[in-house]
Amino acid sequence: MRRVIFVDDAPEILKHLQRTLAPMQAEWTMEFYPSAKAALAAIRETPCDVVVSDMTMPGMDGAQFLGEVRKVCPQATRIVLSGDQSPANYLRSASVAHRFLQKPFDVATLKATIEKAEALRDVLANPALRSLANEIKTLPSLPSIYQELMKEMQAPQASLKKASRIVAKDLGMVTKILQLVNSAFFGLRTHVSDPEQAVALLGFDTIKSLVLSSQVFAQFDQAQLPSFSLDELWRHAMLAGTCARRIGKETGASQAVMDEAFTAALLHDVGVLVLVANKPDDYARVLELMQSKQMPDWEAEREVFGADHAHVGAYLLGIWGLGDGIVEAVAYHHHPDDYKGSGFCAVTAVHVANAMAEAQARPGENPTEVPGLDQHYLAREQLMPQLPRWRELCIAA
């Protein structure tokens, strides 16, 4: 059975959890600990499958505790269960937890959260993907400027001024952000020439997404990618990101979901770059199959590599510790029907945005036809009626 550990320093909360989760005793072996120290000792002695922790605890808080769990039991799914919904609390947990759940919760929500997280772990544990990953010698590194921005965002006195100074360390990055903020993608009504103003207008989350994606692309050499144009891949990523954001806003998604969707859309094809840069000859076979058999890229990749670029990209982002919402959206962007969750989320937004951005890039084709959409998934989630409006928003992007 799945071993699930719960940690909270409030005795009444632990008792409430035990009562609430009693129906799960047939499926889970559950242990409840009043301190992070006690729970960590138990995990060191016997590894667990899932850890659910409060954030605000004396001695060792939830973020510190889950950071230690990641070291001693990296395969465990780490979930924060907190009543503190402040942005600072969410940001601190995002760097160490796979999921963030708000108190109060219900059993069905917790169960679904654990199942989604473990389904993603299973996808990334695919033997063919692991074998391919072991053969890849050159992976892009998590950009240092991105790490600095994340550290600043999580600081108690985070400020846009400090964030703009971090961005300003890289003149090329400043130039790219100013180009982007003044482009039609963002639709601002005033010209922006100051990095601090750009950060203020776009916000922390958009800036960090742009920094991460643009610096990842910059780590690849165009000479390694003779069959691809980095500029075209970047434009596709930006168009997909804009479409994902518009679709999320139109649907009434939370800011967190829109931020996840935007970041994931910018990075959804990073797996293509990794495969082409590391295995150019094998990827030439992929391109031949796509042309000779009219295969989509993911299908040809699976035939050649045993895994596709969506899973390779998700694997990389998982190594970097990006949140599950982003990793899922990248992993499932061609096959959202494989996703175990339900309801509109970043997976939905990125799948639709990618398909619509690809449709717009095909010269001579009707831009309102979107052959890459997973009709079964959209019907399952009762989203088909929204497609016409989403098309309008994406065509206007």
Q: Residue 346 sits in a domain of what CATH number?
A: 1.10.3210.10
> Could you tell me the pLDDT band of residue 369, with boundaries at 50, 70 and 90?
low
What tens digit of pLDDT does each residue of 146-174 get? 888 888 877 777 787 888 888 888 777 78
Higher pLDDT, 165 or 90: 165
Decide if 351 contacts 394 (C-beta within 8 A).
no
For residue 256, give the nearest of 133, 38, 90, 367 by alpha carbon.
90
Range of the domain at 239: 133-141+219-395
Q: Which of 90, 125, 160 is the last residue of a domain?
A: 125
**Do residues 75 and 137 share a domain?**
no
**Do residues 114 and 253 share a domain?**
no
Asked, for residue 168, whether it belongs to a domain, the answer is no
Range of lowest pLDDT (19-23, 65-69, 192-196): 192-196
Q: Which helix (H) or strand (E) holds 52?
A: strand 50-53
**Do residues 336 and 229 share a domain?**
yes
Instruction: Give me the mean pLDDT over the 369-376 stretch.
Output: 86
What letter does residue 21 receive in the DSSP assignment? T
- How many Cα atoms within 13 Å fall on the side-chain side of residue 275? 31
Asked, for residue 310, whether it belongs to a domain, the answer is yes
**Do residues 253 and 383 share a domain?**
yes
> Could you tell me the pLDDT band of residue 116, with boundaries at 50, 70 and 90?
confident
Asked, for residue 93, whether it belongs to a domain, the answer is yes
pLDDT above 90 covers a percentage of the chain that reads 41
Asked, for residue 67, whether it belongs to a domain, the answer is yes
- How many Cα atoms within 13 Å fall on the side-chain side of residue 294? 0
**Do residues 7 and 103 share a domain?**
yes
Q: Alpha-carbon Rg of the chain, whole angstroms?
A: 22
**Do residues 106 and 230 share a domain?**
no
Does the pLDDT at position 290 exceed 90? yes
**Do residues 100 and 137 share a domain?**
no
**Do residues 69 and 104 share a domain?**
yes
**Would you tell me how many other CB atoms lie within 10 Å of the CB of residue 115?**
14
**Do residues 87 and 137 share a domain?**
no
Does the pLDDT at position 293 exceed 90? yes
Count how many domains the chain has.
Answer: 2
> Could you tell me the pLDDT band of residue 245, with boundaries at 50, 70 and 90?
very high
Q: Which of 71, 98, 125 is the last residue of a domain?
A: 125
Average pLDDT across the chain, whole number: 86
**Do residues 137 and 35 share a domain?**
no
**Do residues 232 and 371 share a domain?**
yes
pTM: 0.76
b/e burial code for range 158-167 (CB count within 10 A of at least 16 → b): bebebbbebb
| Chain centroid offset of residue 234 CA | 18
Instruction: Give me the mean pLDDT over the 352-367 stretch.
Output: 78
**pLDDT score for 300:** 96
Q: Name the β-bridge partners of 51.
A: 5, 78
Higher pLDDT, 32 or 317: 32
> Could you tell me the pLDDT band of residue 8, with boundaries at 50, 70 and 90?
very high
**pLDDT score for 368:** 53
**Do residues 271 and 370 share a domain?**
yes
